[in-house]
Every structure is written in structure tokens, then in C-alpha cells.
Amino acid sequence: MQLQLVLKLSFILVLGIAFSADAQRKSKKEKTAKSSLYIQQEAEYYFIEGEKQFILEDYAKAVTNFRASIKLVPTNDVAYFKLAQIYNTTNQLAAAKQSILKALELNSENSYYYLLAADIYTNANNLKEATKYYELLISKVPGKEYTFFQLGAIYLYLQDYENALYTYQRAEDHFGINEQASVQKQKIYLKLNQAEKAINEGQKLIDEFPGNPKYVIMLSEVLSANGHENDAIILIENLLKSTSEVPSVRLQLASLYRKTKALDKFEQQLDIAFTNPAIPINAKIKAVMKYMAFLPDSKLEEILPALCDKIVKTHPNDYNGYVLQGDVYSTFLEKKLVKEDDIKRFQKKAINGYANYIKFDESKFNVWQNLLNLELQLNEFDSVIAHSQQALVVFPNQIWLYLIGGVAYSNTSQWEESIFYFEEGVKRAVNNNQMLSLFYGYLGDCYNQTNNYVKSDAYYDKALMINPNNELILNNYSYYLSLRGQNLEKANEMSLKLMRINSENLAYLDTYAWVQFKLGNYIEAKRVIEKVINNSSANAENYDHYGDILYKLGEVEEAKTQWLKAKELDSNTENIDKKIEQGKIIQ
């Protein structure tokens, strides 16, 4: 009994010890499992926090959280990827490379990792290394063959034409004949001066997609650029025969006809194209601008203005056609490509284009400038007044508009209105001496016309303070003083200065002669006025002055002869009939 009891006690003790050891092992496992779960949860927490900060673009905090996550779980490739994204975004490229390489080391099957690696090396201007990651992506991750096109573009940029061709061929082998690969291969062949191969690529697209005119046009351009214009013409002519009308082809065909000197056909195709509303106006404008670059050219000079007229007729509601019309007709005038008899017609056409344009769009100041300048050239002062007023609503602080409006008013003898415009211009030209000089000069003229001589002289003096050698001011100021018989010594001083500056201008010579006349220096006045009279450009006023000078020298009959010549040139010359009838000066 005692032995059995001892054995039982021993068995229970051993069993208890065994149970105790097993319990300790289970407890350790449970603690380890709990610890591992805690670490995973902690790492996940930091990762999620990092993602939040990344979205909020608080990159410093995001980096701290992603690093904390990696510290707990060093095999977290996604955290390394996120760090690489941040470093790439913030241009910390060395750190970005290190992080993405670690992500790829942990997971070599994630396509986004390769793409980011390629992007990082691209940003670091190491395109050769970038190509390595595109190649790895294609080889390691199935279904990423679209990357061939990105890879090919990089090889092309690196001028590694061999690898570029090989890459685009791989794309073609995988996807079949396609536009992107064929067009890029064409470019490469052309860079390598392998025109025939480039042409073959174009033909492949036509054969593969026979109903698409785009590829016919593309091939015709390649043919044309490589000396095969006639082949290109045949290609497009056949296209027009075999398919319904393809409007844009007409412009291409016209260009080819011009290159082959078939100018009648060139003009015919342009006429068809430009009267077809289905062809976008921008294509037509582009064609006109292309041909404008070839001026002067007799054929283009003949047809380009007419093409602009066709555009505005075919697209009456598109303002771009009107500004083109204005620009083309103006350019022809500027380049002197217009016959004398056509100048006014071209000016009118240009005005028409610009005037129609501003009905659609008033915001282009240069269009207003062109329009107003052309109207001034034709002395269309009423239009200048109307358009300058309209332009000032849009551009109330444009000094030039006050100048041009004032000039138009003064040319229609609306002196008060012109004074208002010039005074407003002065207010806005405070720091612009060139414009101030012009305004002061015009104000001097206008106030003289309204007999406000005090203001007239004051503005002339202001103009001469800015530019003492202003020929127009010296001439007008001295002449008006002489007409009034006031301050003749100052008038003489200014006219003498004018002679030193420019003694060839007939108007200046006449002014000088008239100042001498007023001073009683008749012999000097006659000497100078005869220089004017001996010029074929002499006008009625010059002959009238000559007659007055001769009269003062006692040559009455010769004076009457000169007055008669003045009347022949302008019957409205002041007091001319009385002078002739009475045989004396009439003031």
C-alpha cells in the first residue's frame, strides 16, 4: 500500500511537473503571438497615419510615420514604396532611389515599383538607367507590354535608334501593326536617312487600315518630303477617286501641285478647298500663312488676297477670317506688292476685315491700331472719330487713341473736340515726353485756330522745351507768329534754326521766306521763295507768297502773274481774286 501510494504520488508529481512545463511553453507562445500581433497592429497604425499625412501633403510627418512602420516591420515593401514616392515628389532623389530599390528587393513583382523607379531615374536625368526598369517591368510582370511605347520614346530621346527600333518592333509583334509604332519607326528611319523604309512603314498602315484616309495623307507627306512628289500626288488623287470627299486632302494636294509647278491645278485645288465650309477655317488660315512666307511670288500675289475673301464668305461667323483678311491686305501694302491702281482697294479691304473683326472681338488693341491707321491714310476722318471713341470705351487709358482721335477732329476743323482729346492725352502722358511733345504741338495748332494765341504759344513753348529741334513745331510756331505779325524776332530765330536743320523742305523754305517778308527783308524773301517756285511740287500758297513778295519789290505785273498761277492751282486761295483785280496785296 505504501509503495503504491508512493508510486501514485510520484506519478502525480511527474505529471504535475510535465503539465507545469507545457503550460510555461504555451504561455511563452501566447505572449510571443500577442507581441507579434501588437507589433503588426502598431506598424499598421503608423502606416495608416503616414498615408493620411501623405494625402494632406504633410510629407515630413508622413516620412516619420512610414519610417516608424518600417522599424517595426522591416519587410514592409509598401512603406518603402511610399517613402520613395515622397522623396521623388520632394526632389530628394538619392533617398528616393534607395527606398525604391529596397521595395523592389522585397517585392520584385509589383509593376508600380518599376514604374516609380523609372520615373525617379528620369527625374534624375539618368534616362539610360530608367530604361533598365522599363525592361525589367516587361520581363518580370506579365501584361505590361504597353510600356514598350514609353521605353521606345526614351530610346528615341537618347538617340539610341537601334534599341528604339527594336522596342517599337516588339510592340508591333505584340499588338500587331499600329499607328504609334509605325509612325515612330518612320521618324527613326527618316533620321537615319532611310527614306524607303519610312515609306514602307507608311504603306503598311494603309494596307492594314485601307479605309482610313489619315494614313494616305501621312504617307503623302513623307513621300513629298523625300522627293517623291509625283508618287504622293498619285496616292492622293486615287484616294479622292476611291472614297467620298475628304476635305483636308485638297490642301495637301494643292501643296503638292505647287511643288511640281502645276500652278493651275494648285489654284484649282485651293479654290475648291477654300469654298468648302467642311474644311475647318484654321486649316485654311494655316495654309494662307504658310504661303505668305513665300512672298514675293507672282502666283501667290495673285491668289492669296482672293483666298482671304473666300474664307470670310465661307465662314461669315468666324472672326478669325476677318482679322486674317485685314492682316493679309495690310501686309501686301506694307511690302509694296500692290499695283498703284489697286492701293485704295487693298486699303478698303483691310479696313473691312478689321472693322468686321472688332464686331466680334474688341479686345485686341493692335487690331484697333491697324484699323485706325488705315482709315487715316484714306482720310476717313469720320470713321476714325467713331472708331477711336469706340476703342476708348475698351481702352480708356491708351494714350495713342487720344492722339489719333484728336488728329481726326482737327482735320475736320472740330477744334474744341480735338482740344479735348489732346488735353485728355496730356493727362495720361505725364511720363512720356515723346507723346507730350506731340500733344503740345497739336494743342498749339488747335488753339491758334481758335485764336487763343496765349495758349497756342504756351503749348508750342512746352513742346520746344522737350525737343528744341522739333522741325514741325519750329515751322508752325514761326509761321503763325509771322501771320500775326507778332514776336517776329523770335519767329526769325526759329526759322533760321529750321534752315540749319533742314533747308530742303519746301514748306520750311516758304515759312522762312514769309518771316523775312514780314520783317521787310524782301530781297532775301525773294531769293528763298524762288527755290520753292522752281520746284515742281510748289503749291498755290507758295505762288501767292511769291506774288506778295514781288509786289513789295515793285514788280506789280509779275506779282499778278504769280497770283494767277496761285488761283489756277487753288481758286479758294484767300483774297486771290481781289489781288488780281486790284493789282495789290489785300490783307
Q: Who's near 450: CB < 8 A, 6+ residues apart? A: 415, 416, 419
Is the pTM higher than 0.85? The answer reads no
Which CATH topology does 27-144 take? Answer: 1.25.40
pLDDT of residue 27: 53
Q: For 122, what's the count of Cα atoms within 13 Å in the CB-facing half-sphere?
A: 17
> What distance in Å separates the CA atoms of residue 400 and residue 254, rounded to the nearest whole number?
43
Q: Are 326 and 357 in contact (CB under 8 A)?
A: yes
> What distance in Å separates the CA atoms of residue 382 and residue 390, rounded to the nearest whole number?
12
pLDDT tens string, the chain, 587 residues long: the values are: 443 433 333 333 333 333 344 545 555 554 455 577 788 889 899 999 999 999 999 999 999 999 999 999 999 999 999 999 999 999 999 999 999 999 999 999 999 999 999 999 999 999 999 999 999 999 999 999 999 999 999 999 999 999 999 999 999 999 999 999 999 999 999 999 999 999 999 999 999 998 788 899 899 999 999 999 999 999 999 888 877 667 778 999 999 999 999 999 999 999 999 999 999 999 999 999 999 999 999 999 999 999 999 999 999 999 999 999 999 999 999 999 999 999 999 999 999 999 999 999 999 999 999 999 999 999 999 999 999 999 999 999 999 999 999 999 999 999 999 999 999 999 999 889 999 999 999 999 999 999 999 999 999 999 999 999 999 999 999 999 999 999 999 999 999 999 999 999 999 999 999 999 999 999 999 999 999 999 999 999 999 999 999 999 999 999 999 999 999 999 999 999 999 999 899 87
Tell me the one-letter amino acid at 201: E
What are the cell numbers at 88?
A: 521623388
Burial of 4 (0-12, 13-18, 19+ CB in 10 A): exposed
> Scanning the structure block, which residue is given the C-alpha cell 489781288?
579
| DSSP line for 119-178 | HHHHHTT-HHHHHHHHHHHHHHSTT-TTHHHHHHHHHHHTT-HHHHHHHHHHHHHHH-S-
Q: Are 526 and 545 in contact (CB under 8 A)?
A: no
What are the structural domain ranges in the chain?
27-144
